[in-house]
Structure 1
Amino acid sequence: MSIEFRQLRYFVAVAEELHVGRAAQRLHMTQPPLSQAIQGLEALLGVELFIRAKRGITLSAAGHALLPEARRLIKDSLALPELVRSAAQGETGQLSIAFVSSADYNLLPPLLRDFRSHYPQVQISLREATSDVQLEALRLGQIDLGLMIPPIPDKLAEQLNYRAILSEPLILAAPGDAPWLKSKQGAAKLSLADCQGQPLIIFPRKIAPTFYDAILGCFQQAGITPEIGQEAIQMQTIIGLVSAGMGIALVPQSVSNLKRPGVVYYDLVEKTPLVETGLAWRKDNHSPVLHAFTELIRKTK
């Protein structure tokens, strides 16, 4: 069975007018081909859609059942061009984004607000993940975008695009009630020498090798060998451990937006390396929604 939209349009016109002549005028056609089209639709369906009498025509039970569905199908068909155009321009669709925990305190909220203001009909799914997990998810095509801390391994560099978005210095997160900080109250900056002997809370190196090495490099330049007290893979966990008095941490500057009782943040006297955060996506991902997102970032960042 193959019903044409033309037949449905003809049926709806006759059903609404309950007069073949008036329906033909409405459709800008003559009456005979319209009658033939209706008869052809009835033959195709194997039922009578109209009860024909000398006084005129009325809808049969089958006609009454078909009318709302025919109207719906016609309405949906009229919406198809706009639906296709919106999808082609990235105005509708889905976008999956993974992000490192530190991005939740700087980049992610304004990026999402900006994108949603331009593309409110796009459905966004978010997933918090470390950079190594994001890279694997990109390799497998499980996410569209990764908001991560580089570098990109050489084995993936040819498959991925990368765009740096933010570079920021490291600052010190310390437990505010620590005895060794009492003499430093009111200070705007601390030296790493002030922290000597305090356990360091840090990401595992396998999770973020560049970040890990940058932190240890700060201590090495200060002539200090830190004691690794705890390792944690989430920034909020690291700050939570600092709050519990388990040690100190060097974190990206924007993490100071994460307010926890008992945690104080200090700029460091020493010059620290910049921690970079950027976007990565597959070169062979030609999603219009992905293109819309990366283009918006390119124009605003």
Structure 2
Amino acid sequence: MHIEFRHLRTIKAIHDTGGLARAADSLNITQSALSHQIKGIEDQAGVELFVRRSKPLRLSAAGMRLLAAAEAILPQVAALEAEFAGLVLGSAGRLHIAIECHACFEWLFPVLEAFRKAWPEVDV
């Protein structure tokens, strides 16, 4: 079985919005594409994710397990994406500095303090 982040976002969107049409809108895909995606996940896993004869649409036990995984994993993925964006923009990461003279410390430490305040996500 191969679960992708989009599958986790899909199950969460369906649960959060309460239906396929609203979930498809929130994911910016068609309802048909969403239905095909769900069918693909179910075929791969060999389980049904929804109780189809219920109004409103309800998650099955397997669907609830996938939702729990989505709710645990997606915030971690979002945090990782934000961290990577910080690295790309230069607002996070690590700065290595090497100096040889003791006199340099007199001007370096005040500058480093200002740098740390301006760039708290950068490890110096």
The verdict on a shared fold, with TM-score over 0.5 as the criterion, is yes
Structure with the higher fraction of residues in strand conformation: 1
In structure 2, give the amino acid aligned to 1:23.
Answer: A
> Does structure 2 conserve the Cα–Cα contact (< 8 Å) formed by 1:92 and 1:121?
yes
What is the Cα deviation at residue 99 of structure 1? 4.8
What pairs with 1:179-198 in structure 2 (closer than 5 Å)? none
Alpha-carbon spacing, 1:105–1:84, altered in 2? closer, same or farther (3 Å): closer
Partner of 2:119: 119
- In 2, the alpha carbon distance for the partners of 1:68 and 1:103 equals 57
Q: Secondary structure at the match of 1:69?
A: helix
1:73 aligns with 2:85: no
- TM-score normalised by L of structure 1: 0.34
Quote the offset at 1:101 in angstroms. 8.0
Offset of residue 121 of structure 1: 0.6
Change (3 A) 1:56 1:85: closer
Q: Which amino acid aligns with 1:108?
A: L
> CA separation of 1:42/1:89 partners in 2, compared to 1, >3 Å: closer, same or farther?
same
Conserved in 2, the CA contact under 8 Å of 1:13 and 1:26? yes
Partner amino acid, structure 1, of 2:11: F
Could you say which residue in structure 2 is the equivalent of 1:24?
A: 24
Q: Does the Cα contact within 8 Å between 1:9 and 1:74 map onto a contact in 2? A: no
Give the corresponding residue for 1:92.
92
Q: Is the 8 A contact 1:50 1:59 kept in 2?
A: yes
Whole-angstrom distance in 1 between the partners of 2:103 and 2:42: 62
Q: After superposition, where does 1:126-141 map in structure 2 within 5 Å?
A: none
**Alpha-carbon distance between aligned partners in 1 of 2:90 and 2:29, rounded to the nearest angstrom:** 39
Q: Take 1:73 and 1:15, find their aligned partners in 2: how far apart are those partners?
A: 14
Residue 254 of structure 1: aligned partner: none
Indicate how the Cα distance of structure 1 residues 95 and 68 shifts in structure 2: closer, same or farther if over 3 A, else same: farther
2: distance between equivalents of 1:100 and 1:29?
59
Contact 1:48 1:60 in 2 (8 A): yes
Query: What secondary structure does 1:91 align onto?
Result: coil
- Indicate the residue corresponding to 1:63 in structure 2: 63
Asked if structure 1 preserves the Cα contact closer than 8 Å seen for 2:9 and 2:74, the reply is no
| Bigger Rg, which one | 1
> Match for residue 10 of structure 2?
10
SS at 1:120 equivalent: coil
Deviations 1:169-226 (A, max 9, x none): xxxxxxxxxxxxxxxxxxxxxxxxxxxxxxxxxxxxxxxxxxxxxxxxxxxxxxxxxx
Tell me: CA distance 1:105–1:24, structure 2 relative to 1, closer, same or farther (3 Å): closer
- Superposed CA deviations along residues 139-180 of structure 1, whole A, max 9, x for unmatched, are xxxxxxxxxxxxxxxxxxxxxxxxxxxxxxxxxxxxxxxxxx
Structure having the larger proportion of residues in helix: 2
- Structure 2's unaligned 5+ residue stretches are none
Quote the offset at 1:115 in angstroms: 1.6
String of CA shifts for 1:248-284, please: whole Å, max 9, x gaps: xxxxxxxxxxxxxxxxxxxxxxxxxxxxxxxxxxxxx
Output the TM-score relative to the length of structure 2. Answer: 0.69
SS of the residue 2:35 aligns to: helix
How many angstroms apart in 2 are the aligned matches of 1:32 and 1:68?
25
Residue 104 (structure 1) shift: 7.9
Stretches of structure 1 lacking an aligned partner (at least 5 in a row): 125-301
The one-letter amino acid paired with 2:39 is: Q
Contact 1:8 1:74 in 2 (8 A): no
CA 1:50–1:74: 2 relative to 1, 3 Å: farther
Say if 2:94 and 2:123, in contact at 8 Å, map to a contact too.
Answer: yes
